């Protein structure tokens, strides 16, 4: 009995084209490097996507990406707030070593090699679209100083609170938008007063511009390898809208499929924001397919930290942190463990789940290996490319992951194998949890495992470098 073969014209065409490209590559002695798109959500929780257990918010395109690609279950953000998390992502260093360790007026060192510079060295066209937000106040040329050919979006993390801004930045120039913003007379951080506020005339939604610019960049650079860092602001809140003005801070043009839900307005807004982002990620995937780039493009999606409790939104309403304890600004799992999905149809096995323990500082060495450029020295990351390619025996593992948080109160945390150690300063007592058996960090085992605590104390001291901008003990 013969096997039946279903003819797929599109796949046949792509196969022929791939063969032609491969023949051309062989003749020239070169093989095109894969495109890379890194999409970052802002304050999206571990449980906010359907493929991570979400029951109420619809995310069909990201769920499809997970079904057709790889879903990581033990991947971590660089920090529990935005600026240090993004610094870690860009530099390959954890918050014990990177230059930006909190949301204050310290900038990432322009002499420090980062993702943009790495991809430029490898011959890629590079763009950052969305929220830069690495320290404050960044100068207009800051993304370009760090290796990006193009930038469009918010430079300041505070400016990025408002989804209907009066202007955005495009390659060092202000681009005026048809929005009008109301500003408070007084604000608790005066340096930000010119940037924050609530739009009273809402005509242009910044997220929609980011998607349009991303689609343009892909179209314009389809003939050469490109790196796109698409840093969406969804579902971050407009803190000023809910705080100073006392209104709904979850800004979105409409509630969409949630308009008739008997939910509070902020929860409709948060759900609508996430579904809108999901829709646009679907549009990006469709464009890659239309251009025949999908099988030579690695897409990674993640979030910069856990879900927020801002904009009058409650992360418990939609179970945004799933089974995890804690939210944004915590170093418990809910503050730093994030969704991470990787899609690369020609290389990543569909429907795979990965338990590799990794973090944002691993992006840089992973992409260095992918782009075939030398790995940088003096970084904390390790490449997880073997995990992406289903080569577990080749995958190196971290001895530990380390975080420090410089909010109030200051905190430290370590993940070492199954163990998670957390210390809330100035308290010197260390909490200890077995994540293999207690993912919700409900049972402190510190007294039962003094040897593990001793090891954690050593790492807490040795994993970081002292920095006058970031004192832990005062």
The pLDDT assigned to 191 comes to 54
Same domain, 233 and 92: yes
Same domain, 431 and 287: no
The pLDDT assigned to 32 comes to 84
pLDDT in tens, 404-446: 999 999 999 999 999 999 999 998 899 999 999 999 999 999 9
Same domain, 387 and 351: yes
* 3-state helix/strand/coil string of the chain: CCCCCCCCHHHHHHHHHHHHHHHHHHHHCCCCCCEEEEEEECCCCCCCCHHHCCCCCCCHHHHHHHHHCEEECCEECCCCCHHHHHHHHHHCCCCCCCCCCCCCCCCCCCCCCCHHHHHHHCCCEEEEEEECCCCCCCCCCHHHHCCCCEEEEECCCCHHHCCCCCEEEECCEEEECCCEEECCCCCCCHHHCCCCCEEEECCCCHHHHHHHHHHHHHHHCCCCCEEEEEECCCCCCCHHHHCCCCCCCCCCCCCHHHCCCCCCHHHHHHHHHHHHHHHHHHHHHHHHHHCCCHHHEEEEEEECCCCCCCCCCCCCCCCCCCCCCCCCCCCCHHHHECCEEEECCCCCCCCEEECCCEEHHHHHHHHHHHHCCCCCCCCCCCCCHHHHCCCHHHCCCCCCEEEEECCCCCEEEEEECCEEEEEECCCCCCEEEECCCCCCCCCCCHHHCHHHHHHHHHHHHHCCCCCCCCCCCC
**The domain spanning residue 292 has which CATH number?**
3.40.720.10
Same domain, 348 and 444: no
Counting the structural domains of the chain, the total is 2
User: Residue 187: inside a domain, yes or no?
Assistant: yes
Q: Please identify, among 399, 426, 454, the residue that sits at the C-terminal boundary of a domain.
A: 399
Mean pLDDT of 373-379: 88
The pLDDT assigned to 5 comes to 31
Question: Confidence band (pLDDT; 50, 70, 90) for 331?
Answer: very high
Q: Are 168 and 209 in contact (CB under 8 A)?
A: yes
Same domain, 433 and 345: no
The pLDDT assigned to 401 comes to 98
Question: Confidence band (pLDDT; 50, 70, 90) for 243?
Answer: low
The pLDDT assigned to 30 comes to 58
Q: Please identify, among 378, 399, 420, the residue that sits at the C-terminal boundary of a domain.
A: 399
Mean pLDDT of 56-66: 98
The pLDDT assigned to 50 comes to 98
pLDDT in tens, 9-23: 444 444 334 443 443
Same domain, 422 and 314: no
Mean pLDDT of 153-163: 94
- How many other C-beta atoms lie within 10 A of the C-beta of residue 408? 7
pLDDT in tens, 200-230: 999 999 999 999 999 999 999 999 999 999 9
The pLDDT assigned to 186 comes to 55
The pLDDT assigned to 104 comes to 83
User: Residue 5: inside a domain, yes or no?
Assistant: no
Q: Please identify, among 399, 415, 432, the residue that sits at the C-terminal boundary of a domain.
A: 399
Mean pLDDT of 140-152: 97
- State how far the Cα of 450 lies from the Cα of 358, in Å rounded to an integer: 26
The pLDDT assigned to 284 comes to 98
Give the range among 29-38, 166-175, 440-449 with minimum mean pLDDT: 29-38
The pLDDT assigned to 184 comes to 67
Average pLDDT, the chain: 91
Could you tell me which residue, 351 or 4, shows the higher pLDDT? 351
Question: Confidence band (pLDDT; 50, 70, 90) for 183?
Answer: confident
The pLDDT assigned to 313 comes to 94
Same domain, 53 and 92: yes
Tokens of 41: 């959500």
Same domain, 292 and 391: yes
Same domain, 355 and 409: no
Same domain, 385 and 350: yes
**Is the per-residue pLDDT at 193 higher than 90?**
no
Contacts of 15 (CB under 8 A, 6+ apart): none
Range of the domain at 449: 404-462
Could you tell me which residue, 25 or 68, shows the higher pLDDT? 68
Same domain, 112 and 224: yes
pLDDT in tens, 257-304: 999 999 999 999 999 999 999 999 999 999 999 999 999 999 999 999
């Amino acid at each position: 009995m013969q096997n039946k073969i279903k003819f797929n014209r599109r796949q046949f065409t792509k196969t022929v084209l791939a063969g032609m490209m491969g023949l051309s590559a062989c003749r020239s002695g070169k093989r095109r490097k894969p495109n890379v798109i890194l999409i970052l959500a802002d304050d999206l929780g571990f449980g906010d996507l359907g493929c991570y257990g979400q029951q109420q918010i619809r995310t069909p395109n990201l769920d499809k990406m997970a079904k057709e690609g790889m879903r990581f279950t033990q991947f971590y953000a660089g920090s529990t707030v935005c600026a240090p998390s993004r610094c870690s992502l860009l530099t390959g260093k954890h918050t014990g070593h990177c230059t930006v360790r909190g949301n204050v007026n310290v900038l990432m060192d322009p002499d420090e090699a980062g993702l943009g510079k790495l991809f430029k060295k490898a011959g890629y066209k590079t763009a950052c679209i969305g929220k830069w937000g690495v320290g404050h106040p960044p100068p207009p040329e800051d993304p370009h100083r760090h290796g990006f050919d193009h930038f469009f979006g918010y430079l300041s993390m505070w400016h990025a609170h408002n989804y209907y801004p009066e202007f955005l930045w495009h390659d060092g120039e202000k681009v005026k938008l048809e929005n009008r913003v109301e500003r408070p007379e007084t604000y608790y951080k005066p340096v930000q007063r010119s940037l924050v506020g609530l739009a009273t005339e809402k005509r242009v939604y910044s997220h929609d511009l980011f998607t349009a610019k991303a689609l343009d960049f892909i179209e314009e650079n389809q003939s050469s390898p490109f790196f796109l860092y698409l840093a969406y602001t969804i579902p971050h809140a407009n803190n000023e809208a809910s705080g100073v003005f006392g209104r709904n801070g979850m800004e979105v043009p409409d509630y969409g499929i949630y308009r008739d839900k008997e939910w509070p307005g902020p929860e409709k807004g948060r759900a609508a924001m996430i579904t809108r982002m999901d829709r646009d990620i679907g549009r990006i995937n469709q464009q890659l397919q239309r251009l025949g780039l999908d099988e030579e493009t690695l897409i990674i999606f993640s979030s910069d930290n856990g879900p927020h409790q801002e904009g009058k939104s409650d992360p418990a309403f939609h179970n945004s942190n799933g089974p995890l304890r804690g939210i944004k600004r915590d170093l418990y799992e809910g503050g730093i463990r994030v969704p991470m999905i990787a899609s690369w149809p020609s290389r990543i096995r569909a429907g795979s789940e990965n338990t590799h323990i990794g973090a944002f500082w691993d992006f840089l060495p992973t992409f260095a290996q992918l782009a075939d450029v030398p790995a940088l020295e003096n970084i904390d990351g390790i490449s997880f490319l073997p995990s992406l390619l289903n080569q577990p025996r080749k995958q190196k593992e971290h001895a530990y992951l380390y975080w420090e948080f410089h909010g109030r109160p200051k905190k430290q945390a370590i993940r070492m194998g199954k163990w998670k150690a957390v210390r809330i300063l100035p308290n010197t007592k260390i909490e200890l949890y077995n994540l293999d058996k207690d993912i919700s960090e409900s049972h402190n085992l510190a007294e039962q495992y003094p040897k593990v605590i001793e090891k954690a104390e050593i790492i807490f001291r040795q994993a970081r470098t002292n920095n006058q901008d970031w004192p832990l003990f005062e």
